[in-house]
A = this chain, B = another copy of it.
Amino acid sequence: MGNVFGKLFRISTWGESHGAAVGVVIDGCPPRLPITAAEIQAELDRRRPGQSDIVTPRKEADQVEILSGVFEGVTTGTPISMVVRNGDQRPGAYDEMKDKFRPSHADFTYQTKYGIRDHRGGGRSSARETIGRVAAGAIAKKLLATALPAGTVEMCAYITRVHDIAVPADALTAFPTIEAIEATPVRCPDPATAAAMIERIKAVRADGDSVGGVIECRVRGLPAGLGEPVFDRLEADLAKAMLSLPATKGFEVGSGFGGTLQKGSEHNDTFENRDGAVRTSSNRSGGVQGGISNGEELVFRVAFKPTATILQPQATVGKDGQPTELMGRGRHDPCVVPRAVPIVEAMTALVLVDHCMRQNAQSATFNP
C-alpha cells in the first residue's frame, strides 16, 4: 500500500528481486523535457550489481526500456513507464530462506504482515526494488538541472564513513566533484580514506562478514523557498525519503545530532549581506530553516547498517517457530553503501523536483 511516492512528481515502483521484472511509473513529469534511455541507463549503471570487486557479483545488465510517455525524444506530460527485466535469477539459492527467517532481514515481518512472501532473494524487500527509484530519479535530476537557471543546481552524494573509517574532519570542505567521487568504487572523494575503506570492505568480505557506513549528500544552487511547512518541511520529506531506503537507520541535516552539543550562541547561523544577497555566515542549519530552503548548501547524512546477509552460521527460527541455524548464501554486498550513493541522489532529486513543483503551483498562480 505504500509504493507511491511524491505529491506532484509522483512515482509508483513495483517488482521483486527474482520476479519477471522491476520498474516504475512516473506521473506528473512536465512535458517537452528531452530524455533518452541512455541518460537513465547511466544512473542505473552506477547502481548496478557487479560493477566492481567490492559489490555483489550478481550479473544484471539492468537494461531499461521506456514503454510510454516519451515521444520523439521528449516527455509528453503523460505517464512514463520504465521496465528492467530481471536476468541472473538463481532462485534455487534461496530455497533455505523459504522456511527460515534471516536475522535482521524482512523475512519475518513480511510473512507476518502479508501471510505470504516471495522468499526468493527477499522479494520486494530486496534493494533491487530501488531500480525504479533510480530510473525515476534520473529524470528528476535532468529536470532539476534544466528547470532552474542553467548550471546552477549541483548535487553530489558520497561516503564519509565505512565502519569506523571516516573522512578526516575538514577534508571535504570544498564541494566534491563527480570525478573525485567516482574515482574509486567506494565513492569516497578523499583518496586515502577511500583506499582504507576498500581494504576494510574486502577484509570483512573475506570473513563472510559485512559493514555499514554513512553517506553525505550536498546540493548547491538551490533557490530559497522550497519546503512546505508545517508537515512537508523539506528536511521532513528528505528524512522520509532516506528512511524509506533499505538498511537505513538514521538521518540528520546540517549540524544533526552533533549540533545538540552546542549552545544557541555557538549554533546560530548569523545573516550577512554577501555580494548583495542575504546569506548565512555559517551553515549549521544545513540549508533549511523552518522547513524551507534558505539558499545555502543543503547538507544531510544518512546512516546505513551493516548488510544483514553474512556468510556465517546464525541462530534463527523457522516458519514453524522452531530454533534452527541458517548459513548465509546468495550473492550479496559486503557493504551496501557504495551502491547506495546513486540511490540517495535519486531520492533527493525526486524530493526536490516535487517541492519545486509545489512551490511553482503557488507562486505561478498568484503573484501580485
Leading 8 A-B pairs by shortest Cβ distance: A106-B290, A2-B232, A2-B228, A250-B252, A210-B264, A240-B240, A364-B364, A14-B79
Q: Establish whether residues A253 and B249, one from each chain, have CB atoms under 8 Å apart when the complex forms.
A: yes
- How many interface residues does A have (CB within 8 Å)? 163
Q: Establish whether residues A104 and B8, one from each chain, have CB atoms under 8 Å apart when the complex forms.
A: no
Residues 218-265 of A contacting B (Cβ, < 8 Å): 224-233, 235-244, 246, 248-257, 259-265
For the complex formed, measure the closest distance between the CB of A147 and the CB atoms of chain B, giving whole angstroms.
5
**Residues from chain B with Cβ under 8 Å of A278 in the complex:** 101, 108, 317, 321
Q: Chain B interface: which of A40-48, A54-62, A178-186, A353-361? A: A353-361
**Residues from chain B with Cβ under 8 Å of A290 in the complex:** 105-106, 109-110, 125, 246
19 more A-B residue pairs beyond the given contacts A21-B81, A108-B294, A360-B360, with a C-beta to C-beta distance below 8 A: A1-B8, A2-B227, A4-B10, A8-B358, A14-B78, A15-B79, A20-B67, A33-B368, A78-B124, A103-B270, A108-B224, A109-B290, A209-B264, A212-B260, A232-B244, A250-B252, A264-B306, A270-B315, A360-B364
Is A151's CB within 8 Å of the partner chain B? no
Q: Establish whether residues B76 and A260, one from each chain, have CB atoms under 8 Å apart when the complex forms.
A: no
Measured CB to CB, the nearest residue on chain B to A164 is: B261
Measured CB to CB, the nearest residue on chain B to A323 is: B273
Q: Give Cα distance in the complex from A239 to B308, angstroms.
A: 22
Q: Give Cα distance in the complex from A209 to B248, angstroms.
A: 35
Q: Which of B114, B238, B285 contacts A104 (CB 8 A)?
A: B285
Is A189's CB within 8 Å of the partner chain B? no
Q: Which of B23, B239, B309 contacts A81 (CB 8 A)?
A: B23
Is A89's CB within 8 Å of the partner chain B? no
Grouping DSSP codes into helix (H, G, I), strand (E, B) and loop, the A interface class, with mixed when no group exceeds half, is mixed
**Residues from chain B with Cβ under 8 Å of A8 in the complex:** 1, 8, 358, 361
Residues 1-35 of A contacting B (Cβ, < 8 Å): 1-5, 7-8, 10, 12-16, 19-23, 25, 27-28, 30-33
Q: Establish whether residues A272 and B209, one from each chain, have CB atoms under 8 Å apart when the complex forms.
A: no
Is A362's CB within 8 Å of the partner chain B? yes
Q: Give Cα distance in the complex from A262 to B209, angstroms.
A: 11
Q: Which of B78, B268, B272 contacts A308 (CB 8 A)?
A: B268
**Residues from chain B with Cβ under 8 Å of A25 in the complex:** 3, 12, 14, 25
Q: Establish whether residues B68 and A263, one from each chain, have CB atoms under 8 Å apart when the complex forms.
A: no
Is A286's CB within 8 Å of the partner chain B? yes
**Residues from chain B with Cβ under 8 Å of A108 in the complex:** 224, 271, 278, 289, 294
Q: Establish whether residues B250 and A250, one from each chain, have CB atoms under 8 Å apart when the complex forms.
A: yes
**Residues from chain B with Cβ under 8 Å of A21 in the complex:** 67-68, 81
Q: Give Cα distance in the complex from A234 to B253, angstroms.
A: 20
Q: Establish whether residues A113 and B163, one from each chain, have CB atoms under 8 Å apart when the complex forms.
A: no
Is A276's CB within 8 Å of the partner chain B? yes
Is A307's CB within 8 Å of the partner chain B? yes
Q: Establish whether residues A19 and B255, one from each chain, have CB atoms under 8 Å apart when the complex forms.
A: no
Q: Establish whether residues B257 and A78, one from each chain, have CB atoms under 8 Å apart when the complex forms.
A: no
**Residues from chain B with Cβ under 8 Å of A2 in the complex:** 27, 227-233, 291, 358
Is A123's CB within 8 Å of the partner chain B? yes
Q: Establish whether residues A230 and B3, one from each chain, have CB atoms under 8 Å apart when the complex forms.
A: yes
Measured CB to CB, the nearest residue on chain B to A109 is: B292
For the complex formed, measure the closest distance between the CB of A121 and the CB atoms of chain B, giving whole angstroms.
12
Most B CB within 10 A of own CB, among A213, A233, A241: A233
Is A298's CB within 8 Å of the partner chain B? no
Q: Establish whether residues B209 and A76, one from each chain, have CB atoms under 8 Å apart when the complex forms.
A: no
